[in-house]
Structure 1
Amino acid sequence: MIKKIKKVILLFFVLSLSTSLFAQTSSIEGVVVDSKNQLPVDFANISIYTVKDSVLLNGTIANQEGKFILKNLKAGNYYIKVQFLGYQSKLISDLNLAANQKLNLGKINIALNQQFLNEVKVVGQQVQSVNKIDKQVYKADQFVAAKGGTAVDVIKNMPSVSVDGQGEISVRGSKGFLVLINGKPVQTDAQTILSQLPANMVENIELVTAPSAKYDPDGKGGIINITTKKGADDGVFFGVNLQGGLPSVRTYGNKESQQRFGGDVTFSYKKAKWELSASANYLRNDNAGYREGDVFTIINNIKTTFPSNGERSFDKYNYGGRFNIGFNPDKNNAFSIGFFAGYKFQDRLADIDYDNTKTNLSNGQVIGRKQYFNSNLQNKQGDFVLGNFDYAHTFSNKSQLSFSTLYEFANLNGSTKNRNIEGATIFQNTLNTYKNPLNGFRTKLDYAINIGKGKLESGYQYRLDKQDGDFIYSEANTSGNFVVIPAFSGEVKATNQIHSVYSQYAGKSGKLEYISGLRYEYANRDLTISSDPNPHVLTFNNLFPSANILYGLNKGWKFKAGVSRRVQRTNNFELNPIPEREHSETLEQGDADLLPEFIYLAETGFTKSFNKGSFFSTLYFQDIKNPIQRVNSVYADTILNRVFTNAGRAKRVGLEVGTNLEPTKWWSFYAGANLYNYNIEGTIFNNSVEVRNEAWVYSINLNTNFMLSSSLSLQGNLNYLSNRPTAQGEDSRFLSPNTSIKKTFLKGRLSALLQWQNMDMGFINSNKQRITTFGSDFYTTTNYIYETDVFMLNLSFNLNKLTKKIKLPGSEFGEKEF
């Protein structure tokens, strides 16, 4: 009896297992084709749902022949949705799948979305830029000249943005702005972090010139948000870029030959509830260079002149890796975790010959002359780590609660070796070293709910950043041993804490869009210096109001206006009072009591969309309290003391315009320009020196592309920045023209790009910048000459699931990202 029971149980188990396996062997297959030309629609997205509760059961992607198969399905009632960019969605219902059935749907015809194409007629010709209520959005792909470079090479083409010869980035003439990467703020300075991000990984750039209250109020120039490439739909994306530099055309007599090579790889995968993206890069980008200078100082009626010239070159490289994982367990919850780790290295060599002459101004007699050689090697390097976690929950009433936290670490360190040599004698040998690690933490909680015709958003944020700097200055004695000089050495510890809350309401009524909000902030800055027993504490309570409107007029015209209050916070470089001998001529230091800048911004303008492109113009005004300036004074006969200080008040009134045009199918054109008047008035050096300077400044960014054939294109690019006033002088104009030619293979998956960077040809005077400052007892002017006529070759391969035989506009990224 027991044996019979065991046999029945075993038989029942085998039948159950067989039935279960049998039920899982059903499948559905088919071929997706274009309804008009019957060509396969490769990489179309197929999703299967249960009829009972409309739950997404599974999904797949059609292959290059348009074929797909959904396997391991249970018997039941289903419906299928077929989707692809630019096509109308196709719904196949009433699919009654029997056990072990292999259902073949045959050809599934999908039609082009005429409404989508009509809309693209207005927007698609100008997909390279989109104007929104509080920002302008630009696609990075239009700037081929940036390929193989960094994010700096991309953003310098924006109409509001300029980059000078020192690599300093300005937005509407302001060097202070907030950087976001995929919406996440970074606390390391903009130039450093953007030079870590490969241009090939940049999807698009947002310029938020009148930020609303939900954003941090940091940055008088507004916000630049960089979004990086990732998968758009279910499937796999894989891309590889390699680049190398051709031999230098000009060497400027530099000791070493420049090396230029690098590469990056990007991988993304999205399937059902999961999304993964990862990338890695390496870039070596040395630059040859030269400098010419002329300086004089006056002390006790003795004038010392020391003109100079010599090498100024850079060896630099960086590498890093990133990944992001997203998980959406259901339609109400979303998790995301991201990580970045990288390293950056830079050596700047300045080998300069000086001709020093002393003259008694009372009688014009030369009382001394000396010729000497200065070798100055400055090193900067750092490890960078960023990590973030995000969670969002959507409630049944469509309100949303989101939480995010961000950690950032930058292990910044470096040194400056400075030797003055006369003949065979080293008469001065100094060494500056520093370690200045940064730890930053940020967490925020936001809640958004629909009220009336708009959305109310509120939130709280806490920010903390710490730097623990150790700065050592030493001089070699007669024995060649380095001895620490206490007066120029010490520790500087800085802690910044910020608590902020905000609330804003955004809505739309007819043709009017609006956003209005208020942010409150409590900020505490605590700076301690080992050589100073007095604490340097600064506490602020501030309100940051903001308001924006966008009104639709007739015939594609829109009117916009915005106001906001901003703050430009001080960094530790500006605060550090310990002098650093950056090179032979200068001793640099900050001010521990430096005040942040407070800025009121206002802007108004128009945008226009038309069949062949788009146009915008914006008039803006900035009122700047406590403008931070870098000024010089005489420290010794051949040394200027360069310090940071507040200098009264400054105002900037400007106009920026931009356009994207596509006059023909084979020619596209982009132009952006910014013109402003800058006025600064105040006093420096404890009110002993009056500052009054005013000038008009403009910048022009041009980009044009010619499609010579379906696989061959030629692009020209130009960035121009005019003379700019400073508190004590002027920075000269800066010009950088570039040309690129691109050839694609394998239906666009493989491309070769030849770049001619910083074109000069011996007569354009590109990639040069002269910086001049002066006072009652000094004058200094230095012409920095950077390498021109650089040739680079880039190879790119993209296994991109969105590559199509039918040419479709790429404008829908605006729908995905914004």
Structure 2
Amino acid sequence: MKYFFTLTIFLFLLAPAGAQNPVTITGKITDQQTGQGLPYAAVALYRSVDSALVSGLLADEKGIFRFEKLPLAAYFLESQYMGYRKTRMAVPEPASADAGVIALPDMAMHADGRVLDAVEVTGNRDAVESKIDRQVYRAGAFLGSQGGTAVDVLRNTPSVTVNSEGAITLRGSTGFLVLVNGKPVQTDPAVVLNQIPANSIEHVEIITSPSARYDPDGKSGIINITTRTVAKNSQSLIVNAQTGLPSVHTYHNLKKPLRYGADAAWGMKAGKWEVNLSGNYLRNDITGRRVGDVNTTIGNVFTSFPSDGERSFKRYNYTARASVSFTADPSNVISAGFYKGYRFQSRRADLVYNNTKTDLETGRNVGRITYFNSNIAEKTADVTSANLDYLRRFGNKSELTLSGLVESAELDGLTTNINLSEPGRMRTLQSTRNPSENPLTAFRLQADYVVPIGKGKLETGYQYRNQVQKGVFQYLDQNLETGEFLLVPQFSSRTRLLNHIHSVYGQYSGKSGKLDYSGGLRYEYATRRFTAEGTPARNLDLSNFFPSAQLQYQFSKGWRGKAGYTRRVQRTTNNELNPFPEREHSETLESGDPEIRPEFIGQAELGMVKEFEKGSVFLTVYNQRIKNVVNRVNSVYNDTIVNRIYTNAGLAASWGVEVGGNANLTKWWQLYAGGNVYRYAIEGGLFRNTVVVNTSSVVYSVNANTTFKLSPGLQVQWGISYLSKRVTAQGEDSRFVNPSLSVKKTFLKGKLAATLQWQNMDLGIAGANQQRISTWGRNFYTTTNYIQETDIFLINLSYNLNQLTKKAKLPASEFGEREF
């Protein structure tokens, strides 16, 4: 009986245990300050009774973990993540044996300042990341750009080149759309990119295969600048200052260059509010020379007028930026932004011309004059932009966004030109002034709706855009007897360009197994009305579809393939349409064609991405076909003036290969490199097909840098930017090379950083920072060698008052924050 009673009690106690369901424990590892998940954090599960290890795993890319099929018991968790203190959490016991899943609150980890110093030395973040439609570049990886502007960051990407004149091209084209935190900018891209301070940039995104939800503007794609923001429940203050050392080479210029600047950014994110404020000032002069030769043939007279002298730049810019976001509740978010930027540039060209005329039949000299020409071209750009957005989230996980954006840009210029006799320069031969005003105002209204459907999401939207650009161009010639400046109607005009654009789009994107896909269609109805004083208005109505498609397939761990197609448009500007010649300087006029048509582009690409433990590499093959390609070409106006004209030149096509990547070769040596090579061909005609064009060339560019971490807090980076010779519609541009060297040292546990930059390295042997541009035709030839200052030394100081927060900050959404 005693054994029967004991056995009964044992079976009674064992029965519930045998009936217990397995337990699942889920949770998320987060940063204590930002609230964002910590990807691939290490999580260990221990039994409370004896601290024995039960299991261990890595969280996913969002910091989420899951332990399954566990027996009912008391447990505790321990998480580890580099740069953070070890964190422990007890697992609450379920209320019943049938609890099933135990969902834990977020396991928040605290950043450890002592470990962060080590992370600064050993943790190498990739400089480039590949996504389905873009390449993302981390601005902080390029030491040589610190203290500069967005243009200095872009120089490092394989898709972008910047020549000696500051012309920015994306895959060989100057036509591209600029976004700032996802918001489009209608002003000249070069103007905006030269205003945004490099120190405020988190990422640069090169979107070469944009989806249908983006504006179709820009024939080569989109450049999206993502600026830094503050982490959750914290404040941040970053202050930077820059100064330049005395010039090594002055080229006997009239004035010494000045180089200095400062910028600051403050941000706060607490509760329902987020506020970001930033501002900067940058003075960045440069010295240089210009050596040129021009000749024309009219009848039997050959005229040659070579020139030599100073060509320098005085330039400065300042910006102010503010954004605020209010999250009333998780379903309602209101955000607003404001941007103000001003840029001034004065280009001085003080040249001595030797003008000689020769009779081609007799070989006799029929005229000779030597004179001094001082040509100063001033340009100012005053850009103001503001946006207001409202986001509404619904219960079915759909979202509606209503957006409005206004933009104003005052683009003014003044070119003064004076010819003085040689020698002595005491007598004035000619004096002219060329003032211009080219203001632009634009606004857009937009509604976007996103709803989950099946395994993906459907995005639809409507947009209205209104853009007005006016122009007042004057040419004033001085009466040398009275000193009065008189208007020359032949070279003066007033213009007005009006664009109305209505567009709707639909796009579906999703994922099925290893395949990511996206496809969409955008329809656009656009009207263009151009008027020039004294001429009839020109109207152009356009109705077009812009399809897009992107695919990405994960072949295996680390290997991805992707493909994309997009159709785009490059719209015409006021300058390209203005038929009246504008006197740019003593030897050139510039005019447009009021009948010029927009360029339409079909762009396809196919690529591979390989990610490995210590880096990544990508390769993309692309094709671009441009209908109605616009070129600036030359013709002879008179014996000493060449007329530059914008005109459609037919069909252009390019095939190219783009490759880039980065590798952490050792703990102290990191390499980043990117290159682009393409064949560009034009077939068509100029000047109503009176001049046949059939030309092609192979162009390549390389942007690379290598970083050496010599000791904790000390690193050296050497970089180079190289652009090969390229053929144009009527000539060629020579190669262009720019090496640089930067040394960075951190102090005060990384809060203070000092960087010494050696820009445009030359040492008299590299031929750096100079480029020869040549054009020729049946009766003219021009060649100009632009020689710009080399061996420039700058010192940058940066102080980060909230470094721990910045170190803990994870990459933001690929589309940037909702701010401008």
Same fold by TM (over 0.5)?
A: yes
Corresponding residue number in structure 2 for 1:78: none
Q: Output one character per residue of 1:422-466: Cα deviation in whole Å (capped at 9) or x when no partner.
A: 233222111111111110101110000000000000000111111
Q: Output one character per residue of 1:350-377: Cα deviation in whole Å (capped at 9) or x when no partner.
A: 0010011101111211111110111101
The answer to whether 1:467 aligns with 2:469 is: yes
> Which deviates more from structure 2 when the two are superposed, residues 571-580 or residues 337-346?
571-580
Q: 1:688 to 1:803 in 2, by over 3 A?
A: same
Q: Distance in 2 between matches of 1:111 and 1:803?
A: 10
Secondary structure of 1:720's aligned partner: strand
Q: 1:511 to 1:809 in 2, by over 3 A?
A: farther
Q: Structure 1 residue 299: deviation in Å? A: 0.4
Secondary structure of 1:479's aligned partner: coil
Q: Distance in 2 between matches of 1:636 and 1:812?
A: 58
Q: 1:310 to 1:560 in 2, by over 3 A?
A: same
Residue 747 of structure 2 aligns with an amino acid whose one-letter code is: F
Q: Structure 1 residue 536: deviation in Å? A: 1.1
Q: 1:457 to 1:360 in 2, by over 3 A?
A: same
Q: Output one character per residue of 1:737-760: Cα deviation in whole Å (capped at 9) or x when no partner.
A: 110001100010001111000000
Residue 546 of structure 2 aligns with an amino acid whose one-letter code is: F
Q: Structure 1 residue 412: deviation in Å? A: 1.3
Corresponding residue number in structure 1 for 2:610: 608
Residue 781 of structure 1 aligns with an amino acid whose one-letter code is: T
CA contact (8 A) 1:43 1:802 kept: no
Q: Structure 1 residue 44: deviation in Å? A: 4.4
CA contact (8 A) 1:605 1:616 kept: yes
Q: Structure 1 residue 566: deviation in Å? A: 0.6
Secondary structure of 2:795's aligned partner: strand
Q: Structure 1 residue 810: deviation in Å? A: 6.8
Q: Structure 1 residue 165: deviation in Å? A: 0.8
Residue 462 of structure 1 aligns with an amino acid whose one-letter code is: Y
Q: 1:536 to 1:84 in 2, by over 3 A?
A: farther
Q: TM-score w.r.t. structure 2 length? A: 0.85
Q: Distance in 1 between matches of 2:542 and 2:557?
A: 47
Q: TM-score w.r.t. structure 1 length? A: 0.85
Q: Structure 1 residue 301: deviation in Å? A: 1.6
CA contact (8 A) 1:196 1:318 kept: yes
Residue 262 of structure 1 aligns with an amino acid whose one-letter code is: G
CA contact (8 A) 1:516 1:546 kept: yes
Corresponding residue number in structure 2 for 1:301: 300
Secondary structure of 1:802's aligned partner: helix
Q: Distance in 1 between matches of 2:740 and 2:674?
A: 16
Residue 456 of structure 2 aligns with an amino acid whose one-letter code is: G
CA contact (8 A) 2:33 2:231 kept: no
Corresponding residue number in structure 1 for 2:486: 483
Q: Distance in 2 between matches of 1:816 and 1:701?
A: 25
Q: Structure 1 residue 803: deviation in Å? A: 5.4
Q: Distance in 2 between matches of 1:277 and 1:809?
A: 18
Q: Structure 1 residue 298: deviation in Å? A: 0.2
Q: Output one character per residue of 1:208-267: Cα deviation in whole Å (capped at 9) or x when no partner.
A: 101110001111110010000111222011000000000000001100000000100000
Corresponding residue number in structure 2 for 1:149: 148
Corresponding residue number in structure 1 for 2:346: 347
CA contact (8 A) 2:35 2:232 kept: no
Q: Output one character per residue of 1:509-536: Cα deviation in whole Å (capped at 9) or x when no partner.
A: 000000000000011111111121x111
Residue 559 of structure 1 aligns with an amino acid whose one-letter code is: G
Q: Distance in 2 between matches of 1:373 and 1:421?
A: 5
Corresponding residue number in structure 1 for 2:522: 519
CA contact (8 A) 2:734 2:771 kept: yes
Q: Distance in 2 between matches of 1:762 and 1:304?
A: 34
Corresponding residue number in structure 1 for 2:651: 649
Corresponding residue number in structure 1 for 2:418: 419
CA contact (8 A) 1:90 1:110 kept: no
The answer to whether 1:260 aligns with 2:262 is: no
Q: Distance in 2 between matches of 1:303 and 1:612?
A: 63
Corresponding residue number in structure 2 for 1:74: none
Q: Distance in 2 between matches of 1:349 and 1:112?
A: 53
Q: Structure 1 residue 149: deviation in Å? A: 0.4
CA contact (8 A) 1:454 1:505 kept: yes
Unaligned runs of 5+ in 1: 1-40, 48-81, 95-107
Corresponding residue number in structure 1 for 2:714: 712
CA contact (8 A) 1:44 1:84 kept: no
Q: Structure 1 residue 86: deviation in Å? A: 7.0
Secondary structure of 1:687's aligned partner: coil
Q: Output one character per residue of 1:492-521: Cα deviation in whole Å (capped at 9) or x when no partner.
A: 011111100000100100000000000000
Secondary structure of 1:573's aligned partner: helix
Q: Could you tell me which of 743, 746, 758 is aligned with 2:745?
A: 743
Q: Could you tell me which of 430, 442, 452 is aligned with 2:454?
A: 452
Corresponding residue number in structure 1 for 2:661: 659
Q: Could you tell me which of 619, 622, 626 is aligned with 1:617?
A: 619
Q: 1:320 to 1:640 in 2, by over 3 A?
A: same
5 Å-filtered alignment, 1:714-793, equals 714-793=716-795
Q: Distance in 2 between matches of 1:551 and 1:643?
A: 46
Q: 1:231 to 1:112 in 2, by over 3 A?
A: closer
Q: Could you tell me which of 529, 534, 543 is aligned with 1:531?
A: 534
Q: Structure 1 residue 125: deviation in Å? A: 5.3
Q: Distance in 1 between matches of 2:620 and 2:694?
A: 27
Corresponding residue number in structure 2 for 1:237: 236
Residue 211 of structure 2 aligns with an amino acid whose one-letter code is: S
CA contact (8 A) 1:649 1:681 kept: yes
CA contact (8 A) 1:127 1:810 kept: no
Q: Structure 1 residue 811: deviation in Å? A: 5.7
5 Å-filtered alignment, 1:189-268, equals 189-268=188-267
Q: Distance in 2 between matches of 1:488 and 1:231?
A: 52
CA contact (8 A) 2:231 2:805 kept: no
Residue 502 of structure 2 aligns with an amino acid whose one-letter code is: H
Secondary structure of 1:200's aligned partner: helix
Q: Output one character per residue of 1:130-182: Cα deviation in whole Å (capped at 9) or x when no partner.
A: 21111111110000100000000001111111111111111111110000000
Residue 533 of structure 2 aligns with an amino acid whose one-letter code is: S
- Report the count of equivalent residues: 722
Secondary structure of 1:396's aligned partner: coil
Secondary structure of 2:132's aligned partner: coil
Residue 377 of structure 1 aligns with an amino acid whose one-letter code is: I
Q: Distance in 2 between matches of 1:158 and 1:540?
A: 34
Corresponding residue number in structure 2 for 1:506: 509
Q: Distance in 2 between matches of 1:237 and 1:334?
A: 22
Secondary structure of 2:151's aligned partner: helix
Q: 1:522 to 1:513 in 2, by over 3 A?
A: same
Residue 507 of structure 1 aligns with an amino acid whose one-letter code is: G
CA contact (8 A) 1:126 1:660 kept: no
Q: 1:425 to 1:815 in 2, by over 3 A?
A: closer
Q: 1:91 to 1:408 in 2, by over 3 A?
A: farther
Q: Structure 1 residue 419: deviation in Å? A: 1.1
Q: Structure 1 residue 802: deviation in Å? A: 2.5
CA contact (8 A) 1:744 1:752 kept: yes
Q: Structure 1 residue 546: deviation in Å? A: 0.6
The answer to whether 1:495 aligns with 2:498 is: yes
Q: Structure 1 residue 342: deviation in Å? A: 2.2
Residue 751 of structure 2 aligns with an amino acid whose one-letter code is: R
Residue 775 of structure 1 aligns with an amino acid whose one-letter code is: G
The answer to whether 1:697 aligns with 2:699 is: yes
State the percentage of identical aligned residues: 53
Q: Distance in 2 between matches of 1:450 and 1:537?
A: 42
Residue 709 of structure 2 aligns with an amino acid whose one-letter code is: M
5 Å-filtered alignment, 1:406-445, equals 406-423=405-422, 424-445=426-447
Corresponding residue number in structure 2 for 1:139: 138
The answer to whether 1:275 aligns with 2:274 is: yes
Q: 1:430 to 1:203 in 2, by over 3 A?
A: same
Secondary structure of 1:141's aligned partner: helix
5 Å-filtered alignment, 1:379-418, equals 379-418=378-417
Q: 1:459 to 1:473 in 2, by over 3 A?
A: same
Secondary structure of 1:719's aligned partner: strand
5 Å-filtered alignment, 1:328-343, equals 328-343=327-342
Corresponding residue number in structure 1 for 2:19: none
Q: Distance in 2 between matches of 1:810 and 1:447?
A: 29
5 Å-filtered alignment, 1:176-191, equals 176-191=175-190
Q: Structure 1 residue 725: deviation in Å? A: 1.2
Unaligned runs of 5+ in 2: 1-29, 37-78, 93-106
Q: Distance in 1 between matches of 2:229 and 2:703?
A: 28
Q: Structure 1 residue 391: deviation in Å? A: 1.1
Q: Distance in 2 between matches of 1:630 and 1:816?
A: 35
CA contact (8 A) 2:751 2:803 kept: no
Q: Structure 1 residue 382: deviation in Å? A: 2.6
